[in-house]
Amino acid sequence: MEVTNELVNGWNPQIYKIAKGLKLENCELEDVCQELRMVFVRIARRFDATRGVDFHTYLYRGLYNTAATLIHKQKQIELNAVRNELVNQCLTSQIDHFDYVQTEIDSYIQMADLSFDAKFYLEKTLDGYRRGELMSQVGGPYRWSKLRKELKTKFSFLLEEQND
């Protein structure tokens, strides 16, 4: 279908009505109208009368699908804002909790009387090193295995306290 200014202007009241009904926050009504006009032009260009669908039906379906997409995007933006706020709150509270946990870990390490290598292994583990990286850092698989056994033995008192 050929898209002319007269065709677009003739549909402006319907486009305006749809845009006004969306009530999107942080979006100007004219911006939403412009988005719907661009969709209108795309839909009109793609319309194929040989498919047996009325132009009005085809157009309204396309406009309402676009409206639904705009609403979905608006909700996603709102959800992301809420999610980001919750993450920030959690991180803030976890920093305080982390300081407490770090103090507890330090006291357990002191009570366990670990060797220098075992402390090194534990620090690297807490820093997020993986098994392969740890093995190369501590001197191979045999040394890695010995350090793990030392840590299990030294920290077994924690497991006994939890079981009591």
Q: Are 54 and 37 in contact (CB under 8 A)?
A: no
The answer, yes or no, to whether residue 163 has pLDDT greater than 60, is: no
Q: Are 150 and 114 in contact (CB under 8 A)?
A: yes
For residue range 83-118, list pLDDT tens digits in order. Answer: 777 777 666 665 666 666 667 777 777 777 778 888
Taking the C-alpha atoms of residue 74 and residue 23, their distance in angstroms, rounded to an integer, is 10
Taking the C-alpha atoms of residue 30 and residue 47, their distance in angstroms, rounded to an integer, is 25
Mean pLDDT over residues 121-138, rounded?
A: 83
Class for the domain spanning 5-84:
mainly alpha
pTM, full prediction: 0.47
For residue range 30-88, list pLDDT tens digits in order. Answer: 888 888 888 888 888 888 888 888 888 888 888 888 888 888 888 778 777 777 777 77
In the chain, domain spans? 5-84, 113-163
User: Where does the pLDDT of residue 125 fall: very low under 50, low under 70, confident under 90, or very high at 90 and above?
Assistant: confident
The residue written with tokens 């620090």 in the block is 123
- What is each CA distance from 49 to 15, 56, 64, 146, in whole angstroms? 22, 11, 20, 78
pLDDT for the residue numbered 99: 65
